[in-house]
Structure 1
Amino acid sequence: MKKENRDLFEKGKQGALQLLFSRFGIILILLFIQVWLLFGLLDYVANNYIHLYYAGNMVFTLTGYIILFNSPSDNSVKMTWMIVFTVLPVVGILLYLYTRLEFGHRMERRRLVAIIQKSRSLIGMEDKTKKQLQEHKDLQGLVRFVNQTNAFPVYQQSDVTYFSSGEEKFAALLEELSKAKSFIFMEYFIVGRGEMWSQILEILIEKAREGVEVRFMYDGFCEFSLLPRSYSADLKKLGIKCRVFSPIQPLVSTVYNFRDHRKICVVDGQVAFTGGVNLADEYINKVERFGHWKDTAVRIKGDAVESFTLMFLQMWALDGDTSDFEHWLNVPKEKTFTADAQKGWVLPYADSPLDSERVGEMIYFDLLNKAQESVQIMTPYLILDGEMETALTFAAKRGVTIDLILPHIPDKKYAFALAKSHYRTLIEAGVNIYEYTPGFVHAKVFVVDERKATVGTVNLDYRSFYHHFECGVYLEDVPAIAEITEDFKKTISLSQKITLWDIRNEKTMTKIMGWLLKIFAPLM
């Protein structure tokens, strides 16, 4: 064996051993053992009680179909589970019932409902805004819908700044963090150690030393590959109050399917950030993973910031109490922006998988259904349920120009293949699909008729619609929409339009992968 190959083999062997004996490897082994024991039990019953086994299969399958057809799930989800029931009658139905019963979520849901009810009256709409909203019938319904699940008002006294890249957002974030005098609340899906996080952490440590209340929350999946298990404790030693959302444990549970995908930063109750940008170097192009990383974010100043403060406090309180909500919400707003910047409507929103409402998807539906001339969309993933595919194709068929920008260099090959499985239907309906040739699009942006928009964390996929905690901000007639539209035009000029010829000449393996994975897309 050549020395180069031998060194490569040794490195691979060492990496495999590190993975095997890491926390990630141990959890995978323990999860595998639990699944293996279940299959072993079923195999024992099948071999020793074959008649009972087949009779049970029939009863289980019929029962499963009855439960499935009477569930409120999307038809795409029902079709996927029907296939699972047919291939694995007992195991599939037990798995379905297990996910529907949601062991571990019930207590969390009750706690969240209690938190929302207790905090519902802490923020509200100004009388002047209420009066003007009465004359805006088109927006009234959307505000009413958002407030059915939480208490996030619509605002007028707010300034919106749009950032067309992670680099722009990062620079503004550092500036605002350095000004903090009272509190900093941060909640992010991904935190990766590197230049971006180091600069932020340095400010957070300094602010904590100055007596600023610093609270930081990140999703538990970071502990698999990005952060050590002890990282939250390490931050606490530095004076930063830290919580990990749903850390992964070596126990089979549906709890892990629900992740905190939100990106929120609130400074002193005066400034809030949201959008697609996480806290890792690829988001500001300090490292290149999938070509150039295209992302977006917004900064909110003014009255609408209180909704993002409340969002953060509600999530933080899932592991604590709500006794300090009023203290952090009763902050006089500094009106440091011009009257022109206050034009239009700003509606922050949050989405939770613990209730029955798909807020993020419904806001997308509202935008698509009310569009008159144009819809411009940037999204990293296109894994659509039947309802969303119908909404997109119907809007195009009734004459609305729909431009959809997706990555050309994917971060996940399976997601790329699934996205392409929708291309033909959308293009034949008249949707224009573009791939961002310099690299990867991570932005989550809708612009409608160049006067309505939403920027946030909600992808066009099942995970965002059904399984993630998400957030965003709906904008109408605010000056920043012109900047969003201009950025879309620049991005589309760097993108390749996909034609039916491109689809026909797509790699065979990509087509096959897309067709097969589409069956199980709702479970991914």
Structure 2
Amino acid sequence: MKKAKNTNKLLALCRKILWFLKSRYFFAAFCIVLEFVEILTVFSFLYKYFFPITVAGKLFNAGVLLYLINREETPEFKLPWTFLMLVVPVMGAFAFVVLSSTENSRDLQKRHRASAAKLAPYLKRKDQTELLSEEADREARLQAAYLQRAAGMPCCGNTQITYYRTGQEFYQALLESLERAEQFIFMEYFIIESGSMWDPIYEVLQRKAAQGVEVCLMYDDIGCMGTLPSRYDRIVRRDGIRCMVSNRFRPVLSNVHNNRDHRKITVIDGNTGFTGGINLADEYINAVEKFGYWKDTAVKLEGDAVGSLTALFLSFWNTQCEKTEDTLDYGIYMETSEDTLDYGIYMETSEEKKTGEGAVIPFGDGPDLLYPESIGKNVYLNIIHTAREYLYITSPYLICDHEILNSLRLAAGKGVDVRIIVPHIPDKQIVFLMTQSNYPSLIQAGVKIYEYTPGFIHAKNFVCDDRFAVCGTINLDYRSLAHHYECGVWMYRTGCIGNMKEDFRKTLEASQEILLEQARLKLWKRLPAETLKLFTPLF
């Protein structure tokens, strides 16, 4: 029996290796490694045999190091680069210049600003900040004011919010809403994969496009590299659906590959919008099992706040396909200007008026070139600092910077009931090891850590004091908080917050609490985890 089990494991491993060798991942990795080796070989030869180049290299390394030290960045970002420049002089500086340069993305920044300026008048008309006029709403008013300034999104009322506890619940609601589409459908996802979930959705999209509904699909190239054919967008266009590939991958060394479109957005007729952690692949609805039971969540918005999700989609779509005279080809898939979407047509849709409690602000976040402030991180910090009674968090990863970790410890130290649920069955063992390395300091401060024993929890939720909540795509890791394009929905005293709290408590019943003696990693695990954590801000 044991021999048969080992044979099956070996066969499964061989199949994975064979799949990787045939995939675009292997081609991409091979090209980048080849380019890096070529640059390293040429540089090493010149550096060794030409004295002037040696001197110039040392001066170059010192200059880049001084620039880094004086640059306005977090210590977590500066430390690994400084370490590399000291341990591997010149090559560390060269890597910093190549992977941290934003020059190739300046045009993207200009187009993003132009898009935001065009959308601003439509969003301003939706603002209902007066909802937070009571003295009891002061903390909410301050948080809303931050989002209005940093993300440019209005505070909305008149919005019904439905919370979905599982991918299965979300999937059925999504299909029903798509069937009711009459004007347009916008969909933006990080991962799409043919199967039990995506195929029926795509059939609805084809049918709606044939009926004259405007259907626009956007997906991330690297996110779908292992799940869709390389030119899937061409297939989609033949079916009458407009399609955009976000940040199409090119096998060259560039920091732009770090900025993935991790958003999950569906907007239907400007009246109904969905977002949350759920991608369009079978594991999200448990049609296949990857890491035990897959627990994920989402929200549906109906009413005024849907306009903000529409704006997020339109802005990102048009930012990628509107060209200016000095446009540089830096790897984002460029359409012609004829493929841009008119803001007025979709932002001025006749919305069915809804009544809903509280205030809602959907918001976007992204790399610092387009979003100078870490909006997702600051939204989370604002909620942590506001907490008075309890703070419930679900996240697949717990690899955040010192500021967030210290804020969580401080909240627990003040007596706030801080509880965090992470997976018990991880999707990435190395990432899980780094997550576990943060357990001891949090537990010692009074934070309660739980692992979801049935499998993998992918939900990204914050719930606080029956007043505040966030549901969206933003993980507690550096990729989400610094590099990716993300989105979320900030909520204050909305009806669904109670449902989110109840779902958290039920999820706790299926989770095991991690005690301090269990949390302490053995030395052979702790050393690699701490070493890897040093470099996580870079990737």
Give the TM-score band, short-chain normalised.
over 0.9
Instruction: State the partner residue of 2:293.
Output: 292
Deviation at 1:61, TM superposition (A): 4.1
Which of 317, 322, 327 does residue 345 from structure 2 map onto? 327
Per-residue CA deviations over 1:86-117 (Å, capped at 9, x if unaligned) read 12121111221223322422111111111111
Output one character per residue of 1:195-222: Cα deviation in whole Å (capped at 9) or x when no partner: 0001111111111111111101000114
C-alpha contact 1:24 1:224 (8 A) present in aligned 2:
yes
Aligned counterpart, 2:29: 28
Shift in Å, 1:137: 3.0
**2:394 equivalent to 1:378:** yes
Q: Distance in 2 between matches of 1:110 and 1:81?
A: 28
Partner of 1:409: 425
Is the CA contact (8 Å cut-off) linking 1:120 and 1:150 kept in structure 2?
no
After superposition, the C-alpha distances for 1:426-460 in whole angstroms (9 at most, x for unaligned) are 11111110000110010000001122100000000
Rounded to whole Å, the distance in 1 between the matches of 2:459 and 2:141 is 27
Alignment of structure 1 residues 85-164 onto 2, 5 Å: 85-125=85-125, 129-135=128-134, 136-164=137-165
CA contact (8 A) 2:100 2:255 kept: no
Q: CA deviation at 1:13?
A: 7.9
The question of 1:475 aligning with 2:475 is answered no
Cα 1:60/1:151, change in 2 over 3 Å: same
1:190 counterpart residue number: 191
Deviates more, 1:290-299 or 1:84-93: 84-93
Partner SS, residue 352 of structure 2: coil
Corresponding residue SS for 1:259: coil
Partners of 2:424 and 2:455 within 8 A in 1: yes
Whether the 8 Å CA contact 2:387–2:465 is kept in 1: the answer is: yes
Counterpart-to-counterpart distance in 2, 1:394 and 1:445: 20
Cα distance between partner residues in 2 of 1:291 and 1:17: 24
User: CA contact under 8 A between 1:452 and 1:477: conserved in structure 2?
Assistant: yes
Q: Which residue of 1 aligns with 2:220?
A: 219
Tell me if the contact between 1:109 and 1:355 (Cα under 8 Å) persists in the aligned partners.
no
User: 1:6/1:463 Cα in 2 relative to 1: closer, same or farther (>3 Å)?
Assistant: closer
Distance 1:14 1:427 in 2: 40
TM-score by length of structure 1 reads: 0.93
Name which of 433, 442, 445 aligns with 2:461.
Answer: 445
Q: Give yes or no for contact 2:131–2:157 (8 Å, CA) kept in 1.
A: no
Task: Name the structure 2 match of 1:45.
Answer: 46
- 2:452 is aligned, of 429, 436, 457, to 436
Structure 1 residues without counterparts, runs of 5 or longer? none
Equivalent in the alignment of 1:522: 537
Corresponding residue for 2:328?
none
SS of aligned partner of 2:466: coil
- Against the structure 1 CA distance between its residues 399 and 323, is the aligned structure 2 distance closer, same or farther, given a 3 Å change threshold? same
1:169 aligns with 2:132: no
Amino acid across the alignment from 2:73: S
Q: Rate the CA distance shift 1:330–1:480 in 2: closer, same or farther, 3 A.
A: same
Cα 1:132/1:11, change in 2 over 3 Å: closer
Please tell me whether residue 351 in structure 1 is matched to residue 365 in structure 2. Answer: yes
Q: What pairs with 1:36-75 in structure 2 (closer than 5 Å)?
A: 36-49=37-50, 53=54, 55-56=55-56, 58-75=58-75
Sequence identity, in percent? 38
Tell me whether 98-107 or 287-296 shows the greater mean CA deviation. 98-107
For the residue of structure 1 that corresponds to 2:471, the secondary structure is strand
Q: Alpha carbons of 1:500 and 1:118: their partners in 2 closer, same or farther (altered >3 Å)?
A: same
Which deviates further from its counterpart, 514-523 or 14-23?
14-23
Shift of 1:312: 0.5
Q: Residue in 2 aligned with 1:458?
A: 474
Residues 67-100 of structure 1: CA distance to partner in whole angstroms, max 9, x if unpaired? 2222222112222112111121211112212233
For 2:120, give the aligned amino acid: R
Distance 1:401 1:125 in 2: 39
Distance 2:227 2:183 in 1: 30
Amino acid at match of 1:513: P
1:511: how far off?
A: 2.5
Unaligned runs of 5+ in 2: 323-339
Secondary structure of the residue that 1:225 maps to in structure 2? Answer: coil
Give the 3 Å change call, closer, same or farther, for CA 245–363 of structure 1 in structure 2. same
Segment of structure 1 superposing worse, 130-139 or 388-397: 130-139
Q: Is the CA contact (8 Å cut-off) linking 1:346 and 1:474 kept in structure 2?
A: yes
Residues 362 and 6 of structure 1, relative CA distance in 2, 3 Å threshold? closer
Match of 1:493 among 505, 509, 512: 509
CA contact (8 A) 1:74 1:387 kept: no
Q: Deviations over 1:108-145 (max 9, x none)?
A: 11111111112111222557x34343444322332232
User: Which whole-Å deviations, capped at 9, do the CAs of 1:253-280 have from their partners, x for residues lacking one?
Assistant: 2111100000000111110000000000
Distance, in Å, in 2 between the alignment partners of 1:196 and 1:10 is: 28
CA–CA separation in structure 2 for the residues paired with 1:20 and 1:40: 25
Deviation at 1:311, TM superposition (A): 0.6
Q: C-alpha separation between the residues in 2 aligned to 1:14 and 1:419?
A: 29
